[in-house]
Amino acid sequence: MPEIATVEKVRQATRAFRLMNLLVGVAALCWIVVAVTAGSRQADTVDRIEQISRGTGRIEQPSFASNVMSTMGVAGVIVTPLLLALGAYRLARSIDSASPLLWAVLSALGCVGVLVVVLLSNQASKWFSKQGLKVGLLGPTRASLVAFEKAGVQTKT
């Protein structure tokens, strides 16, 4: 029979699991913003070059909103993998996975990181199931967490 984790350990794992899932969504959103703003800038540049070559256009700077969106997207693309690595480390450590540091480093590596996050999430879901918790998209369900807390396993494993 698997060892049952403490309530606090399950709470830590749940927070880390939810943080990782949230950051995957944020990273995807940042990449979309970067792609859209880069695509619109490229299209604008081509249009401007054509207008200038015909003598009908003038050189204009990109709009303030475009600059802000682009900057936020790039900042998100840089910062999100670092936060994802932190979440992966915390999750791997809380479910007693082998080498949490390796999980963290690999999760920050772009496309490889997505695969690593999926593997770690799968491992965490199995760990939650072994604790008797029902697992949904964002980790253990609220009802199963409440039941686990009522059982109140306080011994340290």
Written as six digits, the tokens of 151 are 């059982």
Residue 84 lies in a domain: yes
Q: Supply the range of the domain harboring residue 112.
A: 7-151
Contact of 87 with 41, CB cutoff 8 Å: no
Residue 35 lies in a domain: yes
Q: How far apart are CA 104 and CA 90, in angstroms?
A: 9
**Number of domains into which the chain is organized:** 1
The gap from C-alpha 29 to its chain's centroid, in whole angstroms, comes to 10
Residue 106 lies in a domain: yes
Name residues whose C-beta falls within 8 Å of residue 146's C-beta, 6 or more positions apart in sequence. none
Predicted TM-score (pTM) of this structure: 0.74
What pLDDT, on a 0 to 100 scale, did the predictor assign at position 91?
93
Name residues whose C-beta falls within 8 Å of residue 28's C-beta, 6 or more positions apart in sequence. none
Residue 76 lies in a domain: yes
Residue 1 lies in a domain: no
Residue 143 lies in a domain: yes
Residue 156 lies in a domain: no
Nearest alpha-carbon partner for 48 in 64, 61, 36: 61
What pLDDT, on a 0 to 100 scale, did the predictor assign at position 89?
95
Q: What is the pLDDT along the chain (157 residues), one digit of tens a residue?
A: 456 778 888 999 999 999 888 888 888 888 888 877 776 665 566 666 666 676 665 656 667 777 777 788 788 888 888 999 999 999 999 999 989 999 999 998 877 888 899 999 999 999 999 988 999 888 899 999 988 888 876 544 4
Written as six digits, the tokens of 38 are 């880069």
What pLDDT, on a 0 to 100 scale, did the predictor assign at position 61?
64
| Cα distances (Å, whole numbers) of residue 85 to 20, 27, 64 | 9, 12, 32
